[in-house]
Structure 1
Amino acid sequence: MNFIFSIKKAIPFILVFLCFSCANRKEIVYYQNIDNLQPKAASSSYEIKIQPDDLLSIIVSAEDAEIAAPFNLKSVAVQSPNRLDAVTSQQTMQLYLVDANGFIEFPILGRLKVSGLSRTEVLQMLQDKIAVYIKKPIVNMRIVNFKVSVQGEVLAPGTFAVDSERITLIEALSKAKDLTIYGKRDNILIIREINGVASYNRVDLTKADFIHSPFYYLAQNDVVYVEPNKTKINGAKVGPNTGVLISITSILITLITLIISTSK
């Protein structure tokens, strides 16, 4: 009888252990084969490509500011309330929106195709075209709405603005406070739009090889999704029914106990 009573008391702990058994090292640790990875120079020349819906800040300058002025968008006055409920006006530089077909409307030069080009290529194109009008023009450009989104089993999912024009997958996950213990590290999904077509790609963080993959650096508007592992899925599936399962098991143990007692 004491043996059966002991089993009955241990049932909840056995169920919890089965539902939340420990993951092994291969499922958790990053860069496991990094010591065997062949050395390769970092891609310092990596550049993202301009995409439709990008907002570009482009400023043209020259030794004579008045000559360069026609090649710049005019500043606009933006009104906003201050702390005293008064309205203040602030000058803001206009931005170039890359349309659905990949074009921008540029002063003097007209309609220019920039989608699919790198920042260096766009700058070279603008310098060549403006040089017809201005001697030694200086052109500066940056993407002002560069962002990536991180979803799933991370501590702080969200959409993160990127100040520079280069961000790695590891940096994006770090912005999201890293994966939870339930994140599936060997099957990170990256959703990327290329020429208007969404692509779906998988990355294994447990293998260091991904450092040399095309998805080590993220592009603007990339979505990173961390899939939950089996422990999390099983926990979510069994969790709401655990109480019922324990009750049924307890009833069965009680019935077995009564049968044994009656048969004696």
Structure 2
Amino acid sequence: MNTLKTKFNHYGLVVFLGVLIASCGSKKDVVYFQDAADYETIVSDNTHTNTFKVDDVIGINVSTLDPLASTPFNLFSGTQEGGFGRPQQLDYIVDKNGEIDFPVVGNIKIVGLTPEETKDLLKQELQPYLKDPIINIRLRNFTVTVLGQVNRPGTYQVNGEQITVLEAIGLANDLNIKGKRDNVLVIRDFNGTKVYTRIDLTKKSALNSPVYYLTQNDVVYIEPNQSAVTQSTLDNRAGLTVSIASLIITTAVIILTRN
């Protein structure tokens, strides 16, 4: 009887150690930029400026020293509700041809242009009508989506003109412990064509990745690491495991009782 109890104790210890080892992670699984040395200066030549895409929503405001002169070159919806207040300025949508329908000037193709390039183009188009126009352009639908093993998945509005993949992950309150940091997937749309690129955030080379700077409507997906996959498998088999364990315990009790 003592020999049988000892065997059961040893078996339980082996199972416990196996589960413990399987659930443990290492430092290399969770630390960002592991190959960056202390006080190391990293100069990145990775520059990026967003360009306009089909279906982008863009706010464009044209102003001059003479407000009446620039009024025809801005879109307005009319007066506010009730007929009071200033008229509401409307936004432009880049159509399937990559163009916007600009007042007076007509269709202007801006797909693939940066905001600065678009400003220069509009100034050229407005030169016959306005003297030294001031043009402000803002992308209204600059959003990024962060999914997977993060603490707060969702779609986030970007207030500025630029955001990095790290900043996007920061908006989602960082990866959780089960997120795979060395194989982050960025899904990017180029006017209907999806491009899938992976980035390793455990290496400093991530700073030079073509997807380190995100563009509008990018999707960042964090895959589950092996720990999460193992846990999912264990959860799926939990019912079966409980049944088998119950059967083993019952059998063991019967054997021990008889001996």
TM-score, length of structure 1 as denominator length: 0.85
Cα RMSD over matched residues?
2.7
CA distance in 1, matches of 2:146, 2:196: 14
C-alpha change, 1:89 and 1:35, in structure 2 (3 Å) is farther
C-alpha change, 1:88 and 1:6, in structure 2 (3 Å) is farther
CA distance in 2, matches of 1:174, 1:131: 43
CA distance in 2, matches of 1:151, 1:24: 24
Q: Does 2:163 match 1:163? A: no
Give the strand-richer structure, 1 or 2.
1
Q: After superposition, where does 1:98-117 map in structure 2 within 5 Å? A: 98-117=94-113
Q: Does 2:237 match 1:235? A: no
Give CA deviations for 1:116-175 in whole Å, capped at 9, x if unaligned: 111111000001111121111111101011100000000000000011110110000000
User: Cα distance, 1:78 vs. partner?
Assistant: 5.5
CA contact (8 A) 1:166 1:218 kept: yes
Q: Does 2:149 match 1:146? A: no
Q: After superposition, where does 1:1-264 map in structure 2 within 5 Å? A: 1=2, 2-7=5-10, 10=13, 13-14=16-17, 16-17=19-20, 19=22, 21-35=23-37, 39-41=42-44, 43=46, 46-77=48-79, 79=81, 91-249=87-245, 251-252=247-248, 255=251
Give the residue type in structure 2 aligned to 1:158: G
User: Cα distance, 1:95 vs. partner?
Assistant: 0.6
Percentage of identical aligned residues: 38
CA distance in 1, matches of 2:95, 2:44: 36
CA distance in 2, matches of 1:95, 1:63: 22
C-alpha change, 1:88 and 1:240, in structure 2 (3 Å) is farther
Q: Aligned to 1:234, what secondary structure does the other structure show?
A: helix
Q: Aligned to 1:182, what secondary structure does the other structure show?
A: coil
C-alpha change, 1:203 and 1:41, in structure 2 (3 Å) is closer
Unaligned runs of 5+ in 2: none
Q: Aligned to 2:156, what secondary structure does the other structure show?
A: strand
CA contact (8 A) 2:80 2:88 kept: yes
Unaligned runs of 5+ in 1: 80-86
CA contact (8 A) 2:44 2:208 kept: no
C-alpha change, 1:250 and 1:14, in structure 2 (3 Å) is farther
